[in-house]
Amino acid sequence: MRESTFPLERELGMRWYASDGDGIGGRLRSSPSDFIVEEIPIEGKGGTTGPYLICRLTKTNWELQHAVKEIAKRLGISHRRIGWAGTKDRNAITTQWISIYDVTAEQVRGVQLKDIVLEPLRNANEALALSQLEGNRFALVIRDTNPDDLAGRVEEITGTVREGVPNYFGLQRFGAIRPVTHTVGEWILRDNYEQAVLTYIGLPFPSENESVRAVRTAFLENRDPAPALRDLPVQMNYERAMLQHLHNTPGDYAGALRELPPKLLSMFVSAFQSYLFNCALSRRFDEGVGLSEPVPGDHLVFANGRTDMVTNANAAAAALHIRRGRCSIALFMPGRGNESSPVLREPVMDSLLAEKGITADDFARASRFVGTKFEGAFRPISLKTEIEYSTGETDVSLKFTLPPGHYATTVCREYMKADPVRMV
């Protein structure tokens, strides 16, 4: 394995690569057509009758939440009536399924938006919810790579991906331009809504426009929403909605957060869970333990969903099951727990939570505030997939499929070993 030297990756817990050799460098997403994603739906989900209209949404260079709000505006409905199974990248061409409550196919066909195609498919008796999909197909192009023995290095890294790479949550999980979602989530867990709002609106990042950075910095310093409302671009509608609330109701930071769409609000806390997972996985590698080496205390997740724990007595059998693909080592991302699903204990995760001063009660309080259950979940520590690839003089094309919740950029970072900003 090899450590990443990039400060942003290290800050987000993504500190290791599976392969030792040099990467190919390059840039992902030179244009949206270099990053094509097609969602694989669960066939027959929700039946064929009911008040929800299932539609296929194909968009180019649109952030999902903004696309949903614009579609809702054209339909004259609340954006809360639109559901989806997976969030998709902005700088990409993406095809996915969404559900819209109580609209007709004729209404949907009348929606006209630049770089958006919305096709009604069928009715269903329930809305789509996050992770209700089989997976995603990717067709990606990495351009301007280092041409030295390009085909050889791609073949070598492809073998590594086939065996497994660290299943990190990718940069876009935390915000591609401003990776702050996990920090906002941490402040929500700490019951400090003021700092959550100040972080979301006010924390500047070097990759942003200089004038926007200046507005954020000023708000962070003086807490005055009026100048920020005046000077922020109109397309920054989430920040502006929060600022408008603070202008109308000074000091109501909890109310300002609730101006955000519920799914976006819930993503802050789940991003902090993702951050904890990344950090815990990297600490495992710090201790010299690999992706497929079960040690006592590890959790195992089998294909049928059954879980088990590795002990001294069953470690050899666990290793055999892992080699044969029957199960995976998994980390439990912590949450509030409940009587039927108690909080699971893992020494590395317990240590991280103790350092942060976060408890299950904090997740329970955040659940009540956000309106989302944060009960925790198992996540495999290894991502593996079959890759179809081709190489040109300096370009590399990759095609592969991943389960829901797994990141194509996690695969690409293993190939590129480049500054993460070159992947967004």
Q: Which residues are catalytic?
A: 89
**Distance separating alpha carbons of residues 337 and 339, to the nearest angstrom:** 7
Q: What is the 3-state secondary structure (H, E, C) of the chain?
A: CEECCCHHHHHCCCCEECCCCCCCCCEECCCHHHEEEEEEECCCCCCCCCCEEEEEEEEECCCHHHHHHHHHHHHCCCHHHEEECCCCCCCCEEEEEEEEECCCHHHHHCCCECCEEEEEEEEECCCCCCCCEEEEEEEEEEECCCCCCHHHHHHHHHHHHHHCEECCCCHHHCCCCCCCHHHHHHHHHCCCHHHHHHHHHHCCCCCCCHHHHHHHHHHHHHCCHHHHHHHCCCCCHHHHHHHHHHHHCCCCHHHHHCCCCHHHHHHHHHHHHHHHHHHHHHHHHHCCCCCCCCCCCCEEEECCCCEEECCCCCHHHHHHHHHCCCEEEEEEECCCCCCCCCCCCCHHHHHHHHHHCCCHHHHHHHHHHHCCCCCCEEEECEECCCCEEEECCCCEEEEEEECCCCCHHHHHHHHHCCCHHHHC
Instruction: Say how many C-beta atoms besides its own lie within 10 A of residue 376's C-beta.
Output: 20
Instruction: Say how many C-beta atoms besides its own lie within 10 A of residue 286's C-beta.
Output: 12
β-strand partners of 3 = 16
**Distance separating alpha carbons of residues 241 and 247, to the nearest angstrom:** 10
**Distance separating alpha carbons of residues 232 and 229, to the nearest angstrom:** 6
Spacing of C-alpha 346 from chain mean position: 23
- Length of the chain equals 424
